A and B are shown apart, each in its own frame.
Chain A
Amino acid sequence: MTEYKMFEGCTIGNRIPFIEAATRRVFEKLGVETSEAPFSCCPDPTGFKSFDDDGWLAMGARNLCIAEEEGKDIISLCNGCTNTLRGVQHKLKHDSLKKEKINSELSKIGKSYKGSVDVKHFVDVLRHNVGLDKIKSAISKPLEGLKVACHPGCHYMRPHEWMETDDDPMRPKTLRELVAATGATVVDYEEEVICCGSAVSNAYEEIGMQNLKRKLDGVMKAGADILVVNCPACFQQFDTNQRTLSKEFEAKYNIPVLYITELYALAMGVSPDDIGLKYHRTRLRDIEPLGL
């Protein structure tokens, strides 16, 4: 299989590396090969892009240049990084004047953007390059009886012109298929494609919390045991803020949150200690099919 350049991103690499640990274990078991590169911040499509769009394009293009120098596609572990790198690619492909401008800036630091490498979200690599059959055969501890709510997150599939996934941007199914491959049951809830509230929290925390509440109310109403995500910003929003939310609204929010690769690592027989599950803020309750 192709070797990808690993883009773990600032949040996973430098704040919650236990998610990277689980992901690398799963990649190892499924034969996804990666190598490192000196990437900078992507930079993120909600903060830095809002600060300066041209700066966002230039910094993103510089990261793409680094992968181009090695002629390898990028695998991203984060929705935001994937969204930025694919968005930069899309804009420079369809706006030749902008591409000229960015390239003239890049030439001053000895770089040139061509548009020759692809950027893949790891969820798409698992679903389409590895495939469900191979995943199913790697699962040694099926999670039958576990009820899972999925949250793919906005920047995995929107805007669809950038992301070019096979998924419907308002009715995504890839994460659901990946979860179902473990034997777990995917539950429906109305708020599945709604934002977790992470980005708006940077300016208006109370609005972010109201978004979070709306999501979690839906997840609880659906009777889910856990919530599965594939974005570190969403993961942090759900995992770290439930305690605050419980205090603010005098209710009990304690839905365990797992990254899809953490769920896979457990279903593939990896020990919870090896992937740092103890670093989760919302405690993983004694849910039987998980065998914790």
Chain B
Amino acid sequence: MVMDFEFRKQVMDYHQGSEVIKYCYQCSRCTDNCPVSYVTDEFYSVKYNPRYNILNALLGYKDKIFSADPLAIWGCTVCDTCDEVCPQKIELTEVFTLLKNQSIANGDGPDFIYQQAKTVIENGKAIPMQSAIERRRQQMGLPDIMAPNADELQSLMSNMGIDKKLK
């Protein structure tokens, strides 16, 4: 297993208080409280294991993280429970965000995430308005939703090069 020091530095820099992540002593409170680990636990083999992700990130085992089944990263349901139960105050979900962002940049993320990002950037909304819903809003006496300035939002995103990550 090769340690990727550049990747390790990215993980450290990403975490607010870069030293904190080193305090992980693998106690497994994160995995023990993770709702996804709970339902993917098959006789001592947990398919989604936040504790392993932190260990591998901490050691700079980049290949091990990104060559595994994408479930190892994308099984996270972003419930932030691990952050709350961690006795060392490690922001696990933030580290997992970095892993997900890199998985997306590698082109390995779930289709839904690319599709949703495309919809948001193109329309300014994750769910574009439909005429049937517009009518329903009127029937219920709701005010019209003010349209977002999608052009401005697209400029913001393309200036930052974010649209280049779309598939």
Contact = CB atoms under 8 A, between A and B. Distances in A.
A138 interface: no
B71 A199 contact: no
Interface stretch (B18-26, B51-59, B119-127): B119-127
Highest count of chain B CB atoms <10 Å: which of A40, A50, A55, A214: A50
Contacts of B159: 105, 108
B10 interface: no
A13 B48 CA distance: 34
Interface in B18-53: 35-36, 38-40, 48
Interface residues of A, number: 64
A142 interface: no
Interface string A1-44: 00000001011011101101100100000000000111111011
A197 B98 contact: no
Contacts of A194: 35, 79, 81
Nearest to B139: A276
A139 interface: no
B137 interface: yes
B104 A52 contact: yes
A40 B125 contact: yes
Nearest to B84: A169
Interface in B143-167: 143, 145-150, 152-153, 155-157, 159-160, 162, 165
A44 B126 contact: yes
Contact of A14 (B79, B113, B133, B140): B133
B101 A51 contact: yes
A50 B97 contact: yes
A143 B146 CA distance: 36
Interface string B110-138: 10111011001000111111100100110
A45 interface: yes
User: Would you call the interface of chain A mostly helix, strand, loop, or mixed?
Assistant: helix
B120 A48 contact: yes
A274 B126 CA distance: 27
A150 interface: no
Nearest to A206: B39
Nearest to B83: A159
Contact of B160 (A15, A39, A105): A105
B126 A52 contact: no
B75 to A, nearest CB: 6
B148 A17 contact: no
Contacts of B141: 21
B16 A95 contact: yes
Contacts of B126: 10-11, 41, 43-44, 47-48
B142 interface: yes
Given A44-B126, A194-B35, A214-B38, A53 B101 contact: yes
Given A58-B156, A195-B77, A200 B36 contact: yes
B7 interface: no
Contact of A154 (B38, B81, B130): B81
Contact of B120 (A41, A158, A274): A41
Contacts of A211: 35-36, 39, 77
B124 to A, nearest CB: 4
17 contacts: A14-B128, A14-B129, A38-B148, A48-B116, A50-B104, A51-B104, A51-B109, A54-B162, A58-B156, A108-B155, A109-B155, A170-B85, A194-B81, A202-B112, A207-B36, A207-B48, A274-B140
- Which 7 interchain pairs have the tightest Cβ spacing? A158-B80, A200-B77, A40-B148, A203-B110, A195-B79, A210-B39, A50-B100
Interface of A: 8, 10-11, 13-15, 17-18, 20-21, 24, 36-41, 43-55, 58-59, 62, 94-95, 105-106, 108-109, 154-155, 158-160, 169-170, 193-195, 197-200, 202-204, 207-208, 210-211, 214, 274-276
Given A47-B113, A52-B165, A194-B81, 11 more contacts: A14-B127, A36-B143, A48-B116, A48-B126, A51-B116, A53-B97, A62-B152, A159-B83, A195-B81, A200-B75, A211-B35
